[in-house]
Structure 1
Amino acid sequence: MTATWILVADSSRARIFSANKAHQPLHEIGRFEHPEGRAKARDLLAEQQGNGSGSGDLECDAPRRNEALSFARELAEHLRMGRTQGQFERLYIAAAPAFLGLLRSKLDTPTSQLLVDTLDKDLTQLDVDAIRKHLPERL
């Protein structure tokens, strides 16, 4: 069986689907939430500083980027484990454009070698049938 995993993600949520043949319906096999990815930068800074209140002049994207990197690492590790356990032989990723680059940078080499294609589009809010319509027919 040549299983393909399809990861659909943004910086705060992700879903993994599996398909065994081209044109086959997708089956959701995993769901991940990272609510910190939706937090405002000033709120993340306030949490890090431990004072509970954000300052308007602390608007900085570094805390949000750090949260996105953390989530990308978590997802990459899950993909690595799936690969080493032989759960898939091909990988397809559809992710929000800014998150796609972060995610690709966190994939280990053997996992990234299984990556057959990517789509720089956020599909996380769509139902499974709508997601399937955005994917290549060959999956």
Structure 2
Amino acid sequence: MKKTIWIVVANQAISRIFEAASASGAIEEKISVIHPASRLREKDLVSDAPGRTYDRFGAGRHRTDPGSSQHAHEATGFAAEIASTMRDAVSKGAVGTLILIAPATFLGELRGKLDSVTLQHVTLEIVKDLTHLDAAGIRSRLPEFLPRH
């Protein structure tokens, strides 16, 4: 049995997984996930105002700056969810090849969440946000023959 090829097209708000049975065939959408928290405004994600602190000298008082934004935290969690889906498919032997398509920052997040076994199945990475395209549009942006693991 030939293992299928998964094309994972994602950004911090949307994940779409397409499947190809052959290296030169058409692709078909299998899984689509929307992460609504990534579309909210920062102030809607955080329940409190930033903390306040006093100056070292004098009576000045100001807000503290959080180390990272809540949007970055949400993107990291969503990348972990996508990575888990890919890891499960690879470990079950259902997928042999992974192709990742995502904007640069999210591709880095996604790659960082993949375990070494799943990462070995990634044969192509494309740094673009193609989540808005249909299956034919995405297939036209890929090589004629998809690389196999």
Bin the TM-score by the shorter chain: 0.7 to 0.9
Secondary structure of residue in 2 paired with 1:29: strand
Q: Percent identity?
A: 36
Structure 2, gaps ≥5 residues long: 50-62
Indicate yes or no: 2:129 matched with 1:128.
no
Where does residue 16 of structure 2 map in the other structure? Answer: 15
Kept after mapping to 2: 8 A contact 1:41/1:59: no
Report the alpha carbon displacement of residue 21 of structure 1 after superposing the two structures with TM: 1.2
Aligned length: 131
Larger radius of gyration: 2
* Paired AA for residue 112 in structure 1: L
Kept after mapping to 2: 8 A contact 1:42/1:59: no
Report Cα offsets for 1:105-132 as digits up to 9, x if no partner.
Answer: 0001100000001001001011111011
Indicate yes or no: 2:73 matched with 1:72.
no
Match of 1:103 among 110, 114, 132: 110
Structure 1, gaps ≥5 residues long: 51-56
Report the alpha carbon displacement of residue 58 of structure 1 after superposing the two structures with TM: 8.9
User: Aligned ranges for residues 1-139 of structure 1 at < 5 Å?
Assistant: 1-46=2-47, 49=48, 62-139=69-146
Give runs of ≥4 in structure 1 deviating > 4 Å. 57-61
The farther-off stretch of 57-66 and 78-87 is 57-66
Structure 2 CA distance for partners of 1:37 and 1:19, relative to 1, 3 Å: same
* Paired AA for residue 102 in structure 1: E
Please report the RMSD computed on the Cα atoms of aligned residues, expressed in angstroms: 1.9
Report Cα offsets for 1:33-69 as digits up to 9, x if no partner.
Answer: 10111122222123xx39xxxxxx8997520000000
User: Could you say which structure has the higher strand fraction?
Assistant: 2
Secondary structure of residue in 2 paired with 1:111: helix
User: Could you say which structure has the higher helix fraction?
Assistant: 1
Kept after mapping to 2: 8 A contact 1:14/1:31: yes
